[in-house]
Amino acid sequence: MTMADSVRFRSEQEAILGYTGGLIGVAAVPGSGKTFTLAHLAARLVQQLVGDRAFDVSQPSEVLVVTFTNAAVNSFQARISHILREHYSAMSPYVGYRVRTLHGLAHDIVRDRPSLVGLADDFAILDERLALDAQRVSVLERLAVWGDRLSMYADPDVEPRTIRYRLEQELPDLVSGVIKRAKDLQIDPEELQRMLEDVEGDQRFDLLRFSAEVYADYQRSLAYRGAVDFDDLVRLALEALQRDERYLQRLRDRWPYILEDEAQDSSLLQEQMLRLLSDRRNWVRVGDPNQAINTTFTTADPSHLLAFLDDQANPDVVEYPLSVSGRSAPPIIDLANELIRWTIEEHPSPGAREAFTYEHKPKQGRVRGVIKPAEADDPQPNPLAEECTIHIHFVPGQKITPDDELEMVVAGEDFSLVAWMSEIEHLPEHERPTVAVLVPENSRGFQLAKLLRRHGVPYEELLRSTSETRETAGILTAVLDYLSSPLDLRKLKQLYWTIMAPELKERVAEDIDLRKWLTDFFAQFRHVEELLWPSSGFEWGQNRPEDEATVVGDLEGFRELVSRWLEATSLPVDQLVLIVGQDLFAEPSDLALSYKIAVLLGSMAESHPDWRLPEFAGELRVIANNQRRFIGFDDAEVGYEPKPGVVTIATMHSAKGLEWDRVYLMSVSNYGFPSALPYDSYIGERWYAAGNPYRGIEHLNLEAEAMAQLEALVSNGEYYEGDATLEARVEYVKERLRLLYVGITRARREVIVTWNMGRHWQQGRENQPAVPVVALKSFLGVHEG
Amino acid sequence: MKTAQFVEGPAGSGKTTHAIEHIRSLIVDQGVRPDEILLLVPQRVLGRPYQIAFSSPDWPGGADITPVTIGGLARRSLELFWPLIAEKAGFAHPTWEPGFLTIETAQYFMAQFVNEAVETGVFDSISVTPFRIMNQTLDNLSKAAMNQFTLDEVASRLVAAWGDRHSSRPPVYRASLDLAARFRDHCLENSLLDFSLQIDLFMKDLLQEPVFERYVKRAYRHLVADNLEENFPVVADFIRWAWDMLDSALLVYDTDAGYRSFLGADPAGMHDLADLCDEVLAFQPLQSANSAILALAGEFSSRLDSATPVPAPSPANPLEAVHFSTHTFYPQMIDWTVDRISELVAGGVSPREIVVLAPFLGDSLRFSLAQGLEQRDIPVVSHRPSRAVRDEPAARTVLTLMSLAYPEWGYAPPSADIADALGQVIDGLDPARAWLLATIVYKQQSGELSSFDAIEARAQQRITYRAGERYEELRQWLVDSRDLAASNPPDVFISYLFGEVLSQPGFGYHADLDAGRVVAELVESARKFRQTLYPHGIEDWSSVSKEYVTLVRKGLLAALYVASWHAEDQDAVFVSPAYTFLMRNRQVDYQFWLDIGSSHWWERLEQPLTHPYVLSRNFPAGQIWTDDLEYAARREALRRLVVGLARRCREGIFAVAAQLGEQGYEQQGPLLLLLEQLGRQVDADGAG
């Protein structure tokens, strides 16, 4: 079978698939199939490389694909292997390419030659929480000395005690941001210290000075553990490439083609690394600068991609458009295009007008920031305009509380989820449309979920990452938790319910008598040992209901397991977890995950010989609650597929790359989507921070100011207090406009936008509908009129 | 020298058999006294085939010859001739008895220097744990001795090989060598001899002594040296030194081996010894060898080394010798392996004919494999168990109880440890009741155990009186033993504790041989520790005991493993890292290669402070170690490894891959690609 037989490409896509080499850049619009096109291109290049008989196994050539998130890595990988299997059937579908995030790539590079950058082969990667913990320890120690000096950053009207408390709470995150940025700029603590000597005595730099001391402590503690953090990984990878020319050459030979997806999120270091690796030979960069939603306090910046596309600076780069999208119905496309037009031409804050990029020069291959619907004969045509509804819930003067908004979305009269459910009830399951509610932040999503539960509306949440990790880790946590305090009868009972097989759980839930019997059963024991190691004469299942043999069997099994585990607590923790995992799980992925957890806890045990089960259970709880980035399997889920007839609850960020028939955008007020207008407020400007009245700033954005201090030193520029706070406002406004754009373009047929006054409306701090939404509402009015 | 023979050939070609026959003929036909034969091997385990032959019933009676390593020979000789060289070698107190350091005790001394240096920040530009800094510094000392480099030479080689890549590295190399020099001074000051100093004294001083020369001449008339390719450069120097004093020499060399190159072995330099011999014999693989496996070894060789000619078309299909299996997850790979092994065993294959090999054998993998096989009643042994001595429940229990016997240490173990220890040692006390008992009788603040008689009757009943009685017995012993604490070194104390209480009827380790073995190992480690550090004794031993227990807790001591009692002789599946199996030098019917996607199959240990190839005589001083050299070295190491493994297999290889490795990362190492490519191309050629 050839590809032409099975897949039809649009002409824009065909043009990209004709790529044979050189530098190309693609500014794509939402729904134009950029990942799809890139995956096909990757597969074609793989075939070309591996088909060659001279393919050298110890130095195989690979197509390198770099993308932004782990989830994207997995889904990209699945796509390529699928294409290779289906369309180039002769090949092994896992050879000849490598899909990585920037961190994954950096890990590969460092892992291959650790001693080049001063690491042993068993170097550890400190995850984000442990890194933050280490920094927090140093922050608190240093605050004891620094406390007074730092109070100059505090609002003089606030109690010193309160200030101290806020600093203790929030400085670790602030410093962590500065350390990350210093690493992005490849500045080590010593160098930072040297730079600070140049501004000695200048108190304005104290925040940075403080951060620099913590940075030095932190790096020392990493070195002592033989560890690096995620940011070091990237920095060191780049260092390895810069240090060893021959190694760089070997990697260049290894990756003759580099494809970069989501290039609008490319950071400074990513760009430097790929520039080095590609040697500006074969590098394909695909992204949508208008969907850059990860720029706040990172060096991710769509300007990298735009600069690459600049034909003056880079005449050797060829730009290809991907401007046709079959995703949304034409009115939704118009709405998204209008958001860009309005922003560029009419946004009340001139700085924000650069949020989007727009260009329409089809003859030069440059069509950016305008979505075009597909032609009628397109393989994937747009939904019809007649099927489309757009509702922006904005009535001037209307006041909507947060609860009102939730109620309206879930059970209101016109366009609510309950109404929607009743409309689609009669349809066979697979024909039901898909729907998502996109919220600006997790907490709003949890409130929504609660209400949906109350109304019996089925939903799935994408608010935290994979539930599978959480479940497996959660079950193991429950076990370790009990094992670390084995006399606790209550925990033992809880454990019984936690690890009960789902079928039995269902039965027990339905059968009141059975539930009662079980409750009575447990109630007869006063002590753990009576249940686990009964003295002779005890009968299992006395007075049991006759047909409950399974439950008794289950209880006996439970007793056997728990006694076995308790006996195994004298083994090293990794071996204990392996035993528990083997006993509890049957699914290969669960087993693999518990295996990984075992290895992880084993290595923690090595670095903390004084840890016992309570500490290990604590660590595991952090993983289970997903407060910890757990590299490896947690991202093993290959993309999310919305289920027909089931509501997806997601943040606008996590909705990227997905689509639904109907999309709700909630809480679109000036709080989450400010417009740099006088009455707007900003999350980064803390209430306890000092202000700069001369510049009209009530509270400084301390994190932005600290970063600006750093950047001023690095670039030998000037630092003016307050500039950074103002700039951060504009950057935030721009990013949130793009986020709104992402939200709108998730919808195929229907968009519903709502807002609320915020939590503090009773205290006279009322949020307003977001300005761009008001503009879109009036566009609709004119349009409809 | 009357006769000198150099025998070379691949594994399994009968070289060692030839050497054994040679020894037999020396004894039987020429009437040589067994103790006149010096049998030199690179590692004690490589002497096993000889020991097995010497102990067989048909071996000429009473002819026990002990294979020795160069380290063993040096140590033995230094003990004998100590007064002769102690002063000349620069020891501050030549009259003191020499203290020979084990790896553990050498680490103990080195750790003190390393910790001081780390504090000064001199190692800040690398991210390596103090433990690794210590090991790599000791490694630099060993490499210097094996090659007879001075420490300055080591430093200048390392600095030169680094080139001008970054200015932060050379100072770090020098810092490591400074530590080495300080350690050496400390040894000379205190009459301590680590491995490197033993070799240095032996080579530089002892060999210059006419007395010693006369001694060697009298003691040894014949030399047999096996597995030369795995031996260090100084061994060649020693052989050349002794050459003219010998009546005969048989030198045995395994082509394509040299697996210890990254530990300092010098296959090329050893091969030069052939020039001294009047006869060079090249052995060929035995005719009976499996032709498919030979074809496989040939394919490996030619695909990884362009200098090796492509094997002539053979009627044998190399793919018949290897069975691939790919799994998504790591535990699936383990399960599959266990299933296949049990099928093989059910089909009549002896477990000792099966080995399971991985490039890196973590404790979790070892434990999972052992558990899976044991559940099917298949005996399994490993080159080491999955737990260090200090992690063995028996050892932890002993250490916990010791802390209770010495309250003046001020170290009160957490309650969990007490519960654990009580559950271990009191027969019939289940973990829940052990917890209960510990919660009631132990207060961490005081670090003391209270009496069972003093607790509430209801609690006594819950715990059972029987267990209470035993507990009282143990507690009383601990209380009484406080009087013994000062007068007894830690090893003696542990022996008492075990002998008088824990191994008695009614206690958990009664008739428990495994626990006995673990405790014996602990006693041995404690004994070496105090003998080396306090050779002349000390008035109050309790501080020494405390120091010992603290170091064990920190993981600095007793990181060793209970010896697996001649593992290779048992009828059990052998689980080990691939290189360890190669060094056992034996053939088996079936090999399982686990985790073939892992890049560990071809990566060496990366050590930022030392370098196995640069610190070798073959590497030109002053040359930069480039990425090209690194890559070529890895490729060659992989070639030797897979060819060596194939040659040690009679029936078949199971190559098993997990797409996602132990940590959940996707894996595509060179060995996987090699096998995949082989599969595709041989298939295609066959089809064409």
Q: Is the pLDDT of residue B451 over 70?
A: yes
Interface predicted TM-score of the whole assembly (ipTM), two decimals: 0.79
DSSP state of A399: -
Give me the CATH number covering residue B49: 3.40.50.300
What pLDDT does residue B91 have?
Answer: 95
The pLDDT confidence band at residue A4, using thresholds 50, 70 and 90, is very low
Q: How many CA atoms lie within 13 A of A763 on its CB side?
A: 4
Query: Which residues 176-235 on chain B approach chain A with CB closer than 8 angstroms?
Result: none
Residues A102, A234: contact at Cβ < 8 Å? yes
d(CA A368, CA A322): 8
Q: Is residue B483 part of a domain?
A: yes
Closest CA to B642 of B312, B289, B297: B297
Quick one: pLDDT at residue A781?
A: 84
Whether chain A has a CB inside 8 Å of the CB on B492: the answer is no
Q: Please determine, for residue A460, whether its predicted confidence score (pLDDT) is greater than 50.
A: yes
CA dihedral defined by A696, A702, A703, A705, rounded to 10 degrees?
60
Flag if B608 and A119 touch (Cβ within 8 Å): yes
Q: Is the Cβ–Cβ distance between B597 and B668 less than 8 Å?
A: yes
Kindly report, residue by residue over A595-607, the tens digit of the pLDDT. 888 888 888 887 7
Secondary structure of residue B20 in the 3-state scheme: helix
**Does residue B195 sit within a domain?**
no
Length of chain B measured in residues: 688
Task: Test B329 with A487 for CB contact under 8 angstroms.
Answer: no
C-beta of residue B604 within 8 angstroms of C-beta of residue B612: yes
Read off the pLDDT band of A335 (50, 70, 90).
very high
CB-based burial, B312-332: b 16+ in 10 Å, e otherwise:
eeeebebbebbebbbbebbbb
Structure confidence at residue B50 (pLDDT): 92
Are residue B43 and residue B105 in the same domain, yes or no?
no
User: How far is residue B327's CA from residue B333's CA, in Å, rounded to a whole number?
Assistant: 6
Is the Cβ–Cβ distance between B412 and B442 less than 8 Å?
Answer: no
With cut-offs at 50, 70 and 90, classify the pLDDT of residue A396: confident
Domain C-terminal end among B282, B300, B315: B282
* Domain extent at residue B415: 390-554
Would you say residue B7 lies in a domain?
yes
Query: Are the beta carbons of A119 and B128 separated by less than 8 Å?
Result: yes
pLDDT score, position B563: 54
Beta bridge partners of A26: A286, A320
Q: Residue A77: its chain B contacts at CB < 8 A?
A: 666
- Alpha-carbon A648 to chain mean position: 16
**Within a 10 A sphere around the Cβ of B444, how many other Cβ atoms?**
12
Instruction: Using CA coordinates, name the residue in chain A closest to B123.
Output: A223
Q: Which residue type, as a one-letter code, is found at position B321?
A: A
Check whether B257 has a pLDDT greater than 80: yes
The answer on B454 and B535 residing in a single domain is yes
Residue A589 has pLDDT above 90, yes or no: no
DSSP A188-257: -HHHHHHHHHHTTT-GGGHHHHHHHHHHHHHHHHHHHHTEEEHHHHHHHHHHHHHH-HHHHHHHHHH-SE
Closest residue by Cα to residue B524 from B172, B18, B102, B2: B102
Q: Which residues, 6+ apart, have CB-to-CB distance to B314 below 8 Å?
A: B291, B294, B295, B298
- Per the structure, how many domains does chain B have? 4
- Looking at the fold, whether B186 and B133 belong to one and the same domain comes out as yes
pLDDT grade for B558, boundaries at 50, 70 and 90: low
B426: left (phi over 0), alpha (psi -120 to 50) or beta: beta
Q: Of A65-74, A370-379, A538-547, which range is least confident?
A: A538-547
Q: What does the alpha-carbon distance between residue B466 and residue B471 come to, in Å, rounded to a whole number?
A: 9
Rounded CA-CA distance A728/A702 in Å is 11
Is residue A71's pLDDT more than 80?
no
Rounded CA gap, A48 and A61, in Å?
10
In a domain, B88, yes or no: no
Q: Is B628 on the interface with A (CB under 8 A)?
A: yes
The contacts of residue B257 (CB under 8 Å, 6+ apart) are B11, B227, B229, B230, B267, B582, B640, B644
A294 Cα distance to chain centroid: 9
B436 vs A: CB within 8 A: yes
B554, B578, B607: which is the final residue of a domain? Answer: B554
B17-41 tens-digit pLDDT:
999 999 999 999 999 999 999 999 9
* Residue among A121, A222, A239 whose CB faces B605 most closely: A121
For β-strands A317-322 and A23-28, DSSP reports them as parallel
**B157/B207 same-domain check:** no
Query: Based on the domain organization, do B182 and B241 belong to the same domain?
Result: no
**Domain endpoint, select from B532, B554, B576:** B554
pLDDT > 50? residue A1: no
- Report how far residue A578's alpha carbon sits from residue A249's, in angstroms, rounded to the nearest whole number: 42
Give me the residue from B130, B304, B432 closest to A533, CB to CB.
B432
DSSP string computed for B369-422: HHHHHHHTT--EEESS-SS-GGGSHHHHHHHHHHHHH-GGG-----HHHHHHHH
| pLDDT at residue A540, rounded to an integer | 55
Six token digits for residue A305: 């991609």
Find the range with the poorest average confidence among B162-171, B444-453, B529-538.
B529-538
pTM of the model: 0.83
* Mean pLDDT, rounded, for A70-95: 78
In the block, which residue shows the tokens 């031993």? Answer: B541
Separation CA B123–CA A223 (nearest Å):
8
| Interval B95-139: pLDDT, tens | 998 999 988 889 889 988 999 999 998 998 899 988 889 999 999
Write the pLDDT tens digit of every residue in A343-358.
999 999 999 999 999 9
Task: At A11, list the tokens.
Answer: 């002409």
Which of A306-320, A531-545, B47-61, B136-150 ranks highest by mean pLDDT? B136-150
Say whether both B614 and B597 belong to one domain: yes
Q: A444: burial class by Cβ within 10 Å (0-12, 13-18, 19+)? A: buried
3-state class (DSSP) for residue A498: helix
Query: Rounded to an integer, what distance in angstroms lies between the CA atom of residue A263 and that of residue B378?
Result: 54
Same domain, B313 and B362: yes
**A48: how many CB neighbours lie within 10 A of its CB?**
15
Same-domain check for residues B263 and B210: yes
- From B38, B190, B232, select the one nearest B100 (Cα to Cα): B190
* Cα B439 off chain centre by: 41
- Which position has the token pair 């450069």? B233
The pLDDT score that the predictor gives to residue A693 is 85
Q: Which of A66, A492, A464 is nearest to A274 (CA)?
A: A66
A636 with B414: Cβ contact below 8 A: no
Q: In this structure, is residue B81 part of a structural domain?
A: no
Q: Which residues contact B84 (CB under 8 A, 6 or more apart)?
A: B206, B209, B211, B212
The answer, for B359 touching chain A at a CB cutoff of 8 Å, is no
Q: Which residue, among A132, A73, A79, has the nearest Cα to A108 in the 3D structure?
A: A73
Nearest chain A residue to B659, by CA: A94
What is the DSSP pairing of strand B573-577 with strand A257-260?
A: unpaired
Long-range CB contacts (within 8 A, 24+) of B640-644: B640/B256, B640/B257, B640/B258, B640/B259, B641/B259, B641/B578, B641/B579, B641/B582, B641/B601, B641/B602, B642/B297, B642/B300, B642/B304, B642/B671, B642/B674, B643/B256, B643/B297, B643/B300, B643/B301, B644/B11, B644/B256, B644/B257, B644/B259, B644/B582
Question: Stretch B575-584: mean pLDDT, rounded?
Answer: 89
Q: How many residues does this entry show for chain A? A: 785
pLDDT at B564 over 60: no
Closest CA to A330 of A381, A290, A378: A381
Backbone angles phi, psi at B47, to 5 degrees: -85, -5
B550 close to A (CB below 8 A): no
Q: Could you tell me if B533 and B425 lie in one domain?
A: yes
Domain membership of residue B217 (yes or no) is yes
* pLDDT of the residue at A634: 45
pLDDT of the residue at A636: 43
Report the range out of A1-10, A343-352, A512-521, B322-331 with the highest average pLDDT.
A343-352
Task: Please report, in angstroms and rounded to a whole number, the separation of the first and last CA atoms in chain B.
Answer: 58
**Both B362 and B394 in a single domain?**
no
Q: Kindly list the residues from chain B whose CB atom is less than 8 angstroms away from the CB atom of residue A95.
A: 668, 673, 676
C-beta of residue A650 within 8 angstroms of C-beta of residue A641: no
Mean pLDDT of chain B: 89
Task: Output the six-digit token pair for B535.
Answer: 């050779």
- Whether residue A224 is predicted with pLDDT greater than 50 in this model: the reply is yes
Q: Determine the Cα–Cα distance for residues A58 and A250; give it in Å rounded to an integer.
A: 11
Identify all chain B residues contacting A61, using CB atoms and an 8 Å cutoff: none
Same domain, B570 and B672: yes
Burial class (CB within 10 angstroms; exposed 0-12, middle 13-18, buried 19+) of B642 = buried
Contact yes or no for B668 and A599 at CB 8 A: no
Dist. CA B646–CA B649, nearest whole Å: 5
DSSP string, B479-505: HHHHHHHTTS-HHHHHHHIIIIIITST
Find the closest chain A residue to B428 by CA distance.
Answer: A533
> Do B348 and B404 belong to one domain?
no
* Cβ neighbour number for residue A494 with a 10 Å cutoff: 14
Q: Dihedral sign, CA of B210, B216, B217, B218? A: positive
Instruction: Judge whether B123 is closer than 8 Å to chain A, CB to CB.
Output: yes
Question: Which of B304, B599, B631 is opposite residue A250, by nearest beta carbon?
Answer: B631
Is A733 buried (19+), middle (13-18) or exposed (0-12) by CB count in 10 A? buried
Give the one of B332, B431, B462 whose C-beta lies nearest to A588's C-beta.
Answer: B332
Q: Out of B332, B414, B423, whose CB is closest to A612?
A: B414
The DSSP 8-state label assigned to residue B605 in this structure reads P
C-alpha pair distances (Å), B687 with each of A432, B297, B683: 50, 21, 6
On whether residue B506 sits in a domain, the answer given is: yes
Q: Is residue B395 part of a domain?
A: yes
